[in-house]
Amino acid sequence: MGHAWKWRTGLVLLAVLWGCEERTPPPAPRTPPPTDSGAPLTSESPTPTQDAGPEVSSDAGAEPVADPRPREAAGLPGSVLSPDGHFAFVVGMLRGDRVRHIDVHEAASKRRLARITLDKSVVVPVTNARVRWTVGNHILLTWSAGSDATSATLYGTEGKTLLEVEGSGMVLSPSNRYLATYPTVFAETPVLRVYDLSTGRKVAERSASEGTFWVVDDIGWKDQQLVALCRNLQERTEEVRIALDARP
């Protein structure tokens, strides 16, 4: 009897232990080692993102940039207003791709004051021509007929021709007041000339000594001077400076 009771008690304890093992949750799987994704790993919780609102341009509050394009006179489509705002010109095209004439208008009344008709020998493709205002309300037409042939004509608002110049090289000052012509090939007469476009007159000329030929390798405007780097046939270089009456 005593042995039977001990046997039953043992079976009951085994059943209880078996049931406890089945109810025990399985161990959590091990976290695999992190892979290198290039971003730093942190144990901190990510900061919640907030709506930043509308995007603001980085240029907000900056000073306005001046429009480099020429101003157009009101009521004159395609026109270019003079620096003082009194006049405007409109470039007329021949077959849409060549400068044929230049009409000069009074900006306020839009009344045409003059038509500058280019000679047939001067009619040039717009890709080789440039028309602009200069100091003194004069109109400068420049064009090129090749890499070593440039020409310029200065007109008044009444249509009168004030100046005609040619040269293998030509450079205009930043204020559109002075125009310089210079040699870029040894076959050209070695003369450096400067013209004041407010008056249409030549204001300076620098020639090489007789029998010497030189060309200009570099030229520019500095302070109140024209500075040119000249080179002769013997490859000797010399800097030439021409003083101007006003800032270029």
34 token code pair: 């992190």
Give the strand order in the sheet containing 225-232.
214-222, 225-232, 237-243
Residue 48 has pLDDT above 80, yes or no: no
For residue 199, the model assigns a pLDDT of 94
Q: What is the mean pLDDT of residues 209-226?
A: 84
96 token code pair: 């849409």
Contact, 72 vs 89, CB < 8 A? Answer: no
pLDDT tens profile 55-114: 222 222 223 333 446 788 889 998 999 999 999 999 987 666 678 899 999 999 999 999
pLDDT tens profile 129-151: 889 999 999 999 998 877 677 89
Question: Fold for domain 70-167?
Answer: Lipocalin (2.40.128)
Which residue is it, tokens 């395609």? 78
Residue 19 has pLDDT above 90, yes or no: no
Identify the bridge partners of residue 149 per DSSP, sorted by sequence position: 146
- Residue 179, Cα to own-chain centre: how many angstroms? 22
**How many whole angstroms separate alpha carbon 168 and alpha carbon 145?**
10
- Residue 155, Cα to own-chain centre: how many angstroms? 28
Which residue is it, tokens 């070695």? 190
35 token code pair: 């892979």
**How many whole angstroms separate alpha carbon 98 and alpha carbon 116?**
14
**How many whole angstroms separate alpha carbon 65 and alpha carbon 58?**
14
Question: Radius of gyration of the chain from Cα atoms?
Answer: 42
Model-level pTM? 0.68
